[in-house]
Every structure is written in structure tokens, then in C-alpha cells.
Structure 1
Amino acid sequence: MNSNSQSIKLFLVLAFSCTSLFASLTPVLAKPTLGSSRSDAYSGLRLRSDPKTTLAQATTFNQPPIPAGSPPGGRVRGGAKRGAIGALAACPPTKLDLTALVSFTQEDNSVINVWGQTTVERPSWFFYVPYTKDSPYAVEFVLQDQDSNEIYQKAIALPDKPGVIRVSLPTTAAALAVNKQYRWFFTINCDKEKNSPPTFVEGVIQRIELNPATVKELQTTEPLKRYAIYAQKGIWYEALTTLAELRQKNPQDAALKAEWRNLLGSIRLDDVAGEPILPETP
């Protein structure tokens, strides 16, 4: 055998040996290193299966259909817009408008219907307010029954900084009746003389009853799962309130922040999803 043949044979033997050695090392490299735990080795899988992270990807708010009868109409955003008499609202323009954190639909003719469901006698509403207590503006929340009778009115104190505030129906107010519709208004009047129209948002809320099986499930499950049930059932007010309370108790939880953005994004309110949730004032 000449020297060229011997060189080729030696090269092939070395190449095969290196390939075999690499193949034998591959499973060793895939195993956890000494001193690491099984959970450390599979931390990526654990994060992907975290219930909060999974929920943020899976939960969808199912908007219920508008009830029969006259459409609710309403207004989900306020701002320095023209009023009925053609005059500009006195409130100065802001980066983000006054916004009601509530579900709404927009029809092909641009008509907006602000409407949501609740299951409790005394629900809570959330609003993004761009003005602060340094502004001498009159703010109030009003709730009316189906016959436009005022059943609750409260003057609202502006917060220390712009953010999302909560307005709850107190025990001193009449409870919402099942299957009745109520209209709410949140108004900011920036003109002391009231010669200019106020900035306001409005909508309709209806209390419904859930079936006994769902009620039992809600009573025995943890808050994050309750939120998911409410969202899937189209119960906007309890879905939002449950998630807001979870976020306030766990302000640094990235998964809850993501779910909050997911929920508000599902109703096209992405722009206020990053605003802080402020403590509820009495």
C-alpha cells in the first residue's frame, strides 16, 4: 500500500472516531450539570407552564350581545370635544382622555354601545382620570334606573396623580335588581360657571344571575381562576374588579400586568393599560 493510501485511511479512521466521540458527548451535554436540580434544568418549561403566564395567553373576554330593545349608546371616552351647543368643553386637552374601563361595541355606522354585565348587587366601576386634585374641577358619579330616576350620586375627589380610580356602589345605596338596566355617568366639569359642556363618559350596566354550578365553582376557586371564569362568561365588571384587586395586592407581578394589558386590549383600550391603578378613596 503506497503512502497516499495510508494517509487517506488514517484520515477516515480519525474522522469516524471524532464523529463517534461527539455523538457520545451529546446526551451528556444535554443533562443537568453537577449540583443543579431537575427543576433548574427545565426552568424554561416550568415558566411556560406557570398558571398565570398560561392564563395571560389563554383568557378571552367574551362580549355578550346587546339586550333586546333600544341600544344603550354611551360614551367610553371624554375629552375636549364639542358639546351639543357647539361650544368646546372647558377641560383642557390631555395626553390620554378621560376613559371608562368598560366593554363596548362599535357598529358599522360608528355608533358606540357602552354596555356590560355584573352579578353583584353593588358593583365597582373603574375610570382613567387624567386630571389631579390640583385642578379645581367638579367631578361626580351618577347612577340612574331604567326610568331615568337618580338612585345614587357621589362627588368624586380627583387623585394625587393621573391614573385609574375605582368607584364602588356603597351599602347605603339601593342594590341593583336582577335583569334591570341602569345608566351611569362619570362627569368632570371644568367650568365653574358651567357655561361650557362637561367632559363625561356614560354607559349601561345590567345585573344578571349565573347558574348554580357556576356560582359554586366561583365560591370554591382561587381569584385568578375566578377572573378567567368571569371573563369567559362575559361578566365584565367582576372580571375587571377581580383582576384589579389581584394587581393591587401583587403590584410587581409581571404575569398579572400582562393579563391586565390583555384584558383591556381585548376591548381596544390598550392606551390606558399601562396607567397605574390608584387606591380607592372613601
Structure 2
Amino acid sequence: MTEPHEKIIEPVILTKIKGPPKEGIIKVSLEQYGVFLDPNVEYEWFAAIVPDEKERSADFFGSAVIRYEKPSKEFLEKISAAPKERRQFLYAENGYFYDAVEIVSDLINAGKNPKKFRSHRAALADQVKLPFAAGHDRKMAGK
């Protein structure tokens, strides 16, 4: 992850992460690596999936821009008062996409009605034009 400013070109974090044994969505916590985003700064992240270290032409790449906006006190109060199953919608409605995905992913991993929550995550993926992620969740949800 880097800050897309001309003055900063060094990665904030560069690491290898062991992925799942099969296709799917994995959670990466920046906090786990001691990385915290500054408010109102745009960062660009890159990811590469390397299926074969010896044949790098088969790599898959992805990137996106992320900007951390500090939530208002009112929004934080609304989130803390909401039932956990409702929080994903509040985050999404207020532009906190990654937080919405994190909440719905936690609900999937908790095992309570995972097919329902996979459908919710597929809808989030559709909104940001991630058809493969959406399709994977739909397939796992049986739709």
C-alpha cells in the first residue's frame, strides 16, 4: 500500500500472505502489520496472487484507491446502537465499503445463516464492479 503523493513513493507495507487453499475472499488486517491510515489521505493498494513463483507471467494483479474518513460521533453512536446484522447496511449507506465487507464477512464466518450473508456480500461486490467476487459468493450461497 502506498500513498499516491509525488513525495511518498515507498510502500507502507510489503508482505507475503498465505491465501486460502481454494478460491475465496480473505481478510487482511492492516492493524496486524502495524499500519494505520491517516484521515483524509488517499492510499493506493496493490495485491498480486502468485500461483507459481517460478512462472511469474501467470500472476494476477489487483489494485484500488482507499481513503480513510474519520466517522462522525453521531455515526459511531448509530453503529454501536445497531444490531450487528444491521451494521453492514449502515456502513455501506455511509460510504464505508471496506467496513461493510468486514462486518458481513464476520457474519459469514460466524456461521449464522452464511448463505444469506454471502448474498449480501455479493451485492456489495456488484456495487463496486467486482463480478468474480460477487459470482463466487452467489455460487457459495447456492444462487
- Give the TM-score, by structure 2 length: 0.78
Say whether 1:272 aligns with 2:129. Answer: no
C-alpha change, 1:229 and 1:160, in structure 2 (3 Å) is same
Measured in 1, the distance between the counterparts of 2:33 and 2:74 equals 30
Q: In structure 1, how many angstroms separate the alpha carbons of the residues matched to 2:115 and 2:21? A: 25
Instruction: Decide which structure has the larger Cα Rg and report it.
Output: 1
1:244-263 equivalent positions in 2, closer than 5 A: 244-263=105-124
Q: In structure 2, how many angstroms separate the alpha carbons of the residues matched to 1:152 and 1:163?
A: 23
Q: Hey, what's the Cα distance between the residues in 2 that align with 1:199 and 1:260?
A: 22
Residue 183, structure 1, aligned to residue 48, structure 2: no
How far 1:188 sits from its partner (Å)?
Answer: 2.4
Map 1:179-218 to 2 at 5 A. Answer: 179-189=40-50, 190-192=52-54, 194=56, 196=57, 198-218=59-79
**Larger strand proportion of the pair:** 1
Q: Is 1:145 the counterpart of 2:3 in the alignment?
A: yes
Q: Is the 8 A contact 2:44 2:63 kept in 1?
A: yes
| Closer, same or farther: CA 253–204 of 1 in aligned 2, 3 Å | closer
User: Which of structures 1 and 2 has the larger relative contact order (alpha carbons within 8 angstroms, sep 6+)?
Assistant: 1
Q: How far apart are 1:254 and its partner, in Å?
A: 4.3
**1: CA distance between counterparts of 2:55 and 2:87?**
46
Matches within 5 A, 1:117-128: none
Query: Which one of the candidate residues 101, 117, 126 is aligned to 1:240?
Result: 101
CA apart distance, 1:241: 0.5
Q: Which runs of 5+ in 1 are unaligned?
A: 1-142, 277-282
Letter in 1 for 2:13: Y
- The runs of at least 4 aligned residues of structure 1 exceeding 4 Å deviation read none
Q: What amino acid does structure 2 have at the position aligned with 1:157? A: K
Count, aligned residues: 133
* Unpaired runs of at least 5, structure 2: none
Percent identity among equivalent residues? 21
Q: CA RMSD, aligned part only? A: 2.3
TM-score normalised by structure 1 residue count: 0.42
Output aligned runs, 1:87-98, within 5 Å.
Answer: none
Change (3 A) 1:202 1:275: farther
1:150-178 CA distance string (max 9 Å, x none) = 11111122322222222111344231100
